[in-house]
Amino acid sequence: MLENSMLYPRTTVSRRAVPLDGMWKFWLDENGTGEKDGFADGIPGKDLIPVPASFQDFYTQKNIREFAGDVWYERDLFVPGEWEGRQVFLRFGAATHRAAVYVNGRKITEHEGGFLPFCADITGAVHYDADNKVVVKVNNELAVTNIPCGETITLPDGRKMNKPYFDFFNYSGLQRSVFLTALPKEYVFDFDLDYEIAGKDAFLHYQVRTTGEHETVLWLYDEEGRQVAASAGKSGTMKVENARLWRVHDAYLYRLVIRILDGDALIDEYGQEIGIRTVEVKGTSILLNGEPVYLKGFGKHEDSSIVGRGFNIGVMKRDFELMKWIGANSFRTAHYPYSEEIYQMADREGFLVIDEVAAVGLFESLMNFMEASSGKKTAFFKKETTPILLKAHKKAIEEMITRDKNHPCVIAWSLLNEPETTDEAAVPYFKEVFDLAHELDVQKRPRTFAMIMNSLPDTCKCYPFSDIIALNRYYGWYVSGGYEISQAEVLFRKEMDAWKALDLNKPFLFTEYGADTLGTEHKLPSVMWSQEYQEEYLKMTHDVFDSYDFIKGEQIWNFADFQTTEGILRVNGNKKGVFTRDRQPKDAAYLLRRRWKGLLEGFKG
């Protein structure tokens, strides 16, 4: 059971939420001696760094960008005297990949997992009506015992270096907002929502968890602020007459308000926008509100210049405008849960989200994009450390589902990206994570995982766990690229015919496909990396998609160019973006816009 509430911080009549974004003191612990040297009481130096942001791209020194180890943050915060008697927390949106939090020299909490929130209960450690010193140690080293997976080596000169088993840069630090919050002693801790549509009406089934035993009441308001339903008790059902459903690009949001009362006295209040909608997989169809939907969109990254993986509200706005312009209706949060504000935006804009836990790199390879179709086997799930990894993986799934379950935009859970599935040892591991996701989600949304090219119909041991078969495929790029693209199409169709022969009666979704393309490169006739080749590749790939009725979606890799580890096969990052890293269109954007604008939401329905 989670120790801390995952509800997004909000100021209400009973709660206070003060953002601590801004400039924090910063120190790289190059010798790894911060604990021994007393950094918990305050860090040395005068350097300042923005929060939220990744720390790597602010500096001009390569040894900072590539730093592996502990980095320390510090700031003072004032706690008002009127908060005395309340529960006071520091709430971190994320600290990548593990953190220890100190207040006034006292260790408050530790957390592992770099893409989900955690709280530090500082009630007993702060001085009221006074400044308090907050120090956070963040460690970004990779290992096979935590997700995302990788390794950390030591170079001959003694410096550590991260070696990810994944193809994106290991940005880290305090990458999401930090809040100082004050809650009453008895407060709303969590709630679960499920929906049932009955003709023009809808039923909202709910369960509320609080930290006490006083009466719980719920009110539901429409977008005009009119109360449309109410209920009392920690579990029950509200009937919503003439319900406005949440639909793709037509996102009607109700406001749910939960209150804890002591007679007429208010103890706590929490409110959140919600959308009434149902999601299910039936045969080969993905159904939203009982109607088939064809997914059009992207694999994305939280990645932009200067702030790296740090949440950037301006970039978020631009990304959604571009997705609307191009005709997309969905994206996958590759390869980790995103900042909560992005889900709130998707709720408002009516985008469908496949929410992915940070289980990437579960295939032992420093160049997995090259070995994905090689047939390589690494016995990944036979390691002595696998039970430790499984524990961390399950904890991350619990945190992700607890945080994101009430967002209408979230229509599926992706529980792994490109794991090794050709060994029987993967089967019991998969069973545990898939069973856990089903148990935790009262809406029983479909579960999936993105399959590496080595995971074929006759080699993959784990595809039966998926409710949606999600394929990452690069025929025409990593397999038979360039002039061999006609052979790529033959191989692609051969694989799809083999899947068809299994008659799985499940929807198939392409969660990755694409070709690296330089936005400045034109060549006639085409060559790989030119914009002309990217278009040829897409036309061939889409022809294959359109040939199989059970393919119910396409999410191209990637929305925009993004940073990776440096190497001879990466030109300052991955260039498969439909848009450049500064969010300008490549030629392929116009091809996709013509295609996606022409496909109805119920295409192949």
Q: What is the pLDDT of residues 223-232, one digit of tens each?
A: 999 999 999 9
Q: CA geometry: angle at 139 spanning 137 and 140, to 5°?
A: 150
Kindly indicate the confidence band of residue 602, based on its pLDDT and cuts at 50, 70 and 90.
Answer: confident
Q: What is the mean pLDDT of residues 200-227?
A: 97
Q: How are strands ordered across the β-sheet holding 188-198?
A: 188-198, 201-210, 235-240
Identify the bridge partners of residue 78 per DSSP, sorted by sequence position. Answer: 131
* Residues of the chain above pLDDT 70, percent: 98
How far apart are the C-alpha atoms of 440 and 438, rounded to whole Å?
A: 6
Q: What is the pLDDT of residue 601?
A: 79
Residue 367 has pLDDT above 80, yes or no: no
Q: Is 522 helix (H, G, I), strand (E, B) or coil?
A: coil
| 420 noted as active-site residue | no
Taking alpha carbons only, the member of 57, 60, 28, 66 closest to residue 566 is 66
Q: What is the pLDDT of residue 563?
A: 94
| pLDDT one-digit tens code per residue, 552-598 | 999 999 999 999 998 888 889 999 999 999 999 999 999 999 999 99
Residue 373 has pLDDT above 70, yes or no: no
Residue 372 has pLDDT above 80, yes or no: no
Equal fold, 16-183 vs 188-274: no
CATH superfamily of domain region 293-598:
Glycosidases (3.20.20.80)
DSSP one-letter code for 127: P
| pLDDT one-digit tens code per residue, 95-119 | 999 999 999 999 999 999 999 999 9
As a whole number of Å, the end-to-end CA separation of the chain is: 40
More confident residue, 370 or 393: 393
CATH superfamily of domain region 188-274:
Immunoglobulins (2.60.40.10)
Q: What is the mean pLDDT of residues 31-43?
A: 95
What is the chain's Cα-based Rg? 24
Kindly indicate the confidence band of residue 501, based on its pLDDT and cuts at 50, 70 and 90.
Answer: very high
Q: Is 20 helix (H, G, I), strand (E, B) or coil?
A: coil
Q: What is the pLDDT of residue 567?
A: 87
In Å, how far are 154, 165, 420, 602 from 151, measured between CA atoms?
10, 8, 17, 44
| pLDDT one-digit tens code per residue, 298-347 | 999 999 999 999 999 999 999 999 999 999 999 999 999 999 999 999 99
Alpha-helix residue ranges (DSSP H) falling in 217-339: 313-326
CATH superfamily of domain region 16-183:
Galactose-binding domain-like (2.60.120.260)
| pLDDT one-digit tens code per residue, 241-262 | 999 999 999 999 999 999 999 9
DSSP one-letter code for 386: H
Mean of per-residue pLDDT scores for the chain: 95
Residue 79's contacts (CB-CB under 8 Å, 6 or more residues apart) are 88, 126, 127, 128, 129, 130, 132, 180
Q: Where are the domains of the chain?
A: 16-183, 188-274, 293-598
Identify the bridge partners of residue 140 per DSSP, sorted by sequence position. Answer: none
Q: Are 295 and 509 spatial neighbours (Cβ–Cβ below 8 Å)?
A: yes
| 269 noted as active-site residue | no
Taking alpha carbons only, the member of 71, 116, 150 closest to residue 389 is 150
Residue 265 has pLDDT above 70, yes or no: yes
Q: What is the pLDDT of residue 571?
A: 86
* Per annotation, catalytic residue among 340, 418, 536, 554: 418
* Per annotation, catalytic residue among 512, 535, 536, 554: 512
Q: What is the mean pLDDT of residues 361-378?
A: 64
Q: Are 276 and 204 spatial neighbours (Cβ–Cβ below 8 Å)?
A: yes
How far apart are the C-alpha atoms of 211 and 365, rounded to whole Å?
A: 45
Report residue 59 CA to chain centroid gap. Answer: 27
Q: How are strands ordered across the β-sheet holding 22-29?
A: 48-51, 22-29, 70-79, 130-139, 98-103, 106-112
Q: Are 217 and 261 spatial neighbours (Cβ–Cβ below 8 Å)?
A: yes
| pLDDT one-digit tens code per residue, 291-310 | 999 999 999 999 999 999 99
Q: What is the mean pLDDT of residues 430-449?
A: 98
Residue 368 has pLDDT above 60, yes or no: no
Residue 374 has pLDDT above 80, yes or no: no
Cα dihedral sign for 406, 178, 31, 102? negative
